[in-house]
Amino acid sequence: MASPGTLSRADRRHKWSVKLSPFGFISPYFLIFGIFGLFPLLYTAFVSLQKRNLLDADAATFIGFGNYERLLLHDPYFWNAMGNTVSLWLMTTIPQILFALGIAHLLNRRLRGRTLFRMGMILPNITSVAAVTIIFAQLFGRDFGLVNWVLSWFGAGEVDWQAGTASSHTAIAAMVVWRWTGYHALIFLASMQAIPSTMYEAATLDGANGWQQFWRITVPLLRPQIIFSTVIATTGNMRLLAEPLLFNPGTAAATGGSDRQFQTAALYLYEQGFTKYDFGYSSAIALVLAVVTMLVAGLSYLVTRRIQTD
Amino acid sequence: MTTVLTPPTTTPGRTRRIVRRVTSPWTYAGLIAILAGSAFPVYWSLVVSSQTNEAVGSVPPVLLPGGHLFENIARVFDETDFALALGNSLIVAGTITVSVVLFSTLAGFAFAKMRFRGRTALLLVVVATQAIPTELGVVPLYMMMADLGWAGQLQAVIVPGLVTAFGVFYMRQYFEHALPLELLEAGRMDGCGPLRLFWHVALPTARPAAAVLGLFTFMQAWNDFFWPLVVLVPENPTVQTALSTLASGYTTDYTLVLTAATIGTIPVLVVFLLFGRQIVGGIMQGALKG
């Protein structure tokens, strides 16, 4: 046996294994993420400074901020896409949060079949974006679409949803709101259930009606969840791509409509990168979009933070 | 009056049940309407799947299922590569799910229960990377795949999906609360090394959380659209990219496309019907993002 103070070979091996194994346990994550997640992310910045075409890889040249100059100063399509992105962000995020609050409020009562209702709310969220968009494109069809058929009862049935800016944005917003409202409603519901009923009893005694209680008690107490949901919805809705791509499939798919009526910034990134193979330019769009998304997410954080807490 | 305002002495749920007014029929009417709205597009895609194209292109539109469902399903498999797409999606989503669950559990266990240098900083990196949109890196990632000769092949979709920051963080949170240190200590006294400790003590404890993580990972991998669209070719599709190819034909065969969409939704729908309660529970904990 080893003398006191020194370790046997087996003990030493054990000590090393205890010391090193945590790194062994976390290394698969960091290895794979580092190579296929982090590296491409950082490399985007470098590619965005190049004139680089997939079909002519050897001719990649460093052009500094040339892509950015072209993008920000000389490209009306980019600004069109950015405008559509912001418009769709507003038309999706605000209704999502408001509807979700209302639905959560309804779900927060004594209910028979609670599980059924809750599962029903989340059903849209589990269906794939491709399937959803194809289904909605059919519903919003011009000639045989269900939406136009219903509208025709009110004497307004001939909307060509894909053709106009406002109409196409409405249709795309409808599918995004449909898909995500239930998800946010469940998050709100979870916190609503933690609000002690004594708060409502006290308010009732003070003469507050249901509407006042909702806006003065429920909504302020849900502030952290509203902030969370708004920021999550913002980062998701600022990079809509599948919806506009599949809303009007065919030759005009990547341009988001014949006249770019509903081309989002993410779709423009796709068009430049993967139909025109202009990788440098596409990377520049990716970076600008990421920066704008962070700014808009910050803005929505600041706005939702101002919800009154008495 | 003061009695009403004293804090509840029984469990909160019970107190609430006594105090709340009876739910009005209007609440039910509203909720049923919302439920119908949630389910309608999925229902309607099933309706179209069971009709002929002539019936679909009529006014007023058909609202009830017809008798052509199996005929349309046969058409999807005869006229398109949808069988290949289904197989590909199963391989992709299956591999990603197993890998994410395994690596997340490993890393989550290390972060929650082991001491090592740089632990806090590394965990912070994991949390921070959760916020980064993957779309940002698609161009270089595509270049890497092209260099590796993987473009158009399934491993191009699988390999980047093998780990997620979310999974690591989720499992770490679970271990933090669910795995008592005494249990680990007992394992150590019995002479378990780190790996056996993980395998025989941590992994069994992690089962419920690993199941929820697995469900969500599978659904996300199955539904993923953008990256497969970029890196795969139409000849070797997943379900989602096959749908996009079908939908972008020059003459759109609506019943064919919507039948394929319906078939492609069935696997997640089955998972959802079996585990809907856990999925809803996971979302209501605020821990899971769709």
For B7, nearest residue in chain A (alpha carbons): A198
Are the CB atoms for A285 and A269 separated by under 8 Å? yes
Are the CB atoms for B226 and A96 separated by under 8 Å? no
The band of B84, judged by pLDDT with boundaries at 50, 70 and 90, is very high
Q: In the A/B pair of chains, how many CB contacts fall below 8 A? A: 290
Collect all residues of chain B within an 8 Å Cβ-Cβ radius of residue A17. Answer: 193-194
Over residues A118-172, the pLDDT tens digits come to 999 999 999 999 999 999 988 998 887 889 888 988 887 788 998 889 999 999 9
Residue A124 to residue B283, Cβ atoms within 8 A: no
Q: How far apart are CA B46 and CA B57, in angstroms?
A: 16
The band of B9, judged by pLDDT with boundaries at 50, 70 and 90, is very low
Residue closest to B202 by CA, chosen among B230, B180, B227, B235? B180
Handedness of CA B171, B174, B175, B176 (dihedral sign): positive
Residue A215 in domain: yes
Residue B22 to residue A23, Cβ atoms within 8 A: no
Q: How far is A299 from chain B (nearest CA, A)?
A: 16
User: Any CB–CB contact under 8 A between A192 and chain B?
Assistant: no
Residue A1 in domain: no
Q: How big is the CA angle at A259 (ends B227 and A283), to the nearest 5 degrees?
A: 35
Q: How far is B10 from chain A (nearest CA, A)?
A: 13
Collect all residues of chain A within an 8 Å Cβ-Cβ radius of residue B140. Answer: 39-41, 43-44, 47, 283
Q: Check which CATH number belongs to the domain holding A147 and give it.
A: 1.10.3720.10
Residue closest to A57 by CA, chosen among A286, A206, A279? A279
For A289, nearest residue in chain B (alpha carbons): B136
Q: How far apart are CA A151 and CA A143, in angstroms?
A: 12
Percent of chain B with pLDDT over 70: 90
Q: How many domains does chain A have?
A: 1
Q: How far is B210 from chain A (nearest CA, A)?
A: 16
Out of B7, B59, B289, the one facing A198 most closely (by C-beta) is B7
Collect all residues of chain A within an 8 Å Cβ-Cβ radius of residue B195. Answer: 21
Residue A172 has a pLDDT of: 96
Backbone phi, psi, residue A92, to 5°: -100, -45
User: Any CB–CB contact under 8 A between A172 and chain B?
Assistant: no
Residue A39 in domain: no
Out of B15, B122, B261, the one facing A197 most closely (by C-beta) is B15
Tell me, what's the ipTM? 0.89
User: Any CB–CB contact under 8 A between A187 and chain B?
Assistant: yes
Collect all residues of chain B within an 8 Å Cβ-Cβ radius of residue A143. Answer: 57
For B8, nearest residue in chain A (alpha carbons): A198
Residue A138 to residue B48, Cβ atoms within 8 A: yes
In which element (H, E) is residue A185 found? Answer: helix A165-192
Collect all residues of chain A within an 8 Å Cβ-Cβ radius of residue B57. Answer: 143-144
Residue A219's domain comprises 80-309
Strand residue runs (E) in chain B: none
Residue A9 in domain: no
Residue A143 has a pLDDT of: 80
Instruction: Extract the tokens encoding A1.
Output: 């046996």
Over residues A34-92, the pLDDT tens digits come to 999 999 999 999 999 988 887 776 778 888 899 999 999 999 999 999 999 999 999 99
Q: Does domain B75-288 have CATH number 1.10.3720.10?
A: yes
Instruction: Look at residue B59 and give its three-state secondary structure.
Output: coil
The band of B19, judged by pLDDT with boundaries at 50, 70 and 90, is very low
How far, CA to CA in Å, does B118 sit from each of A7, A19, A249?
27, 13, 50
Are the CB atoms for A41 and A59 separated by under 8 Å? no
Tally of CB atoms within 10 A around A76: 8
Over residues A171-200, the pLDDT tens digits come to 999 999 999 999 999 999 999 998 998 888
Residue B163 to residue A132, Cβ atoms within 8 A: no
Q: How far is A235 from chain B (nearest CA, A)?
A: 8
Across the strands, what pairs with A61?
Answer: A51
Collect all residues of chain B within an 8 Å Cβ-Cβ radius of residue A246. Answer: 244, 247-248
